[in-house]
């Protein structure tokens, strides 16, 4: 099961191989500041299946905490992935996938309490508070 994605400008593109692992939402303040959105939808894949396909090769990385580096396009700023120290998987932003509707983040809503109060989150009929 192959999944492909890219940033907004297409400079950075990737391919990963499924099955998808732990598709979930995160509304922590770091995801919010990084993305500019109230919530980020994430899904993981084994890091060994990840290949960079765009002309730009690998994305730029910002270390947002001791354990986490966040990958983004240096040209358009598109938010693509996160690598956690010691984790064999790579977390991919579902919205950067070419077909984001194929993966539904029903597993969990992390840091739901940090989401704005006006943000009501329903995923495929499931309500997250």
Burial 78-106 (b: 16+ CB within 10 A, else e): bbbbbbeeeeebbbbbbebbeebeebebe
Our CB check for Zn ion shows the closer of 48 and 76 to be 76
What contacts 85, CB < 8 A, 6 or more positions away?
Answer: 66, 67, 68
Structure token pair of residue 16: 């990963």
Does residue 92 interact with Zn ion by CB under 5 A?
no
- From 76, 85, 99, 120, residue interacting with Zn ion (rule: CB under 5 A): 76
Does residue 65 interact with Zn ion by CB under 5 A?
no
- From 25, 26, 41, 90, residue interacting with Zn ion (rule: CB under 5 A): 26
Residues of this chain that bind Zn ion (CB under 5 A): 7, 9, 11, 26, 28, 31, 73, 75-76, 78
């Amino acid at each position: 099961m192959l999944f492909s994605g890219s940033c907004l400008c297409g400079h950075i593109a990737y391919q990963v191989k499924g099955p998808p692992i732990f598709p979930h939402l995160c509304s922590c303040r770091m995801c919010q500041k990084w993305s500019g959105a109230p919530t980020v939808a994430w899904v993981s894949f084994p890091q060994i299946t990840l290949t960079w396909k765009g002309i730009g090769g690998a994305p730029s990385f910002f270390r947002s905490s001791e354990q986490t580096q966040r990958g983004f396009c240096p040209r358009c700023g598109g938010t693509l992935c996160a690598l956690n120290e010691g984790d064999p998987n790579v977390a991919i932003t579902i919205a950067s996938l070419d077909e984001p509707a194929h993966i539904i983040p029903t597993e969990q809503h992390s840091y739901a309490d940090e989401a704005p109060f006006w943000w009501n989150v329903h995923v495929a009929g499931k309500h997250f508070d």
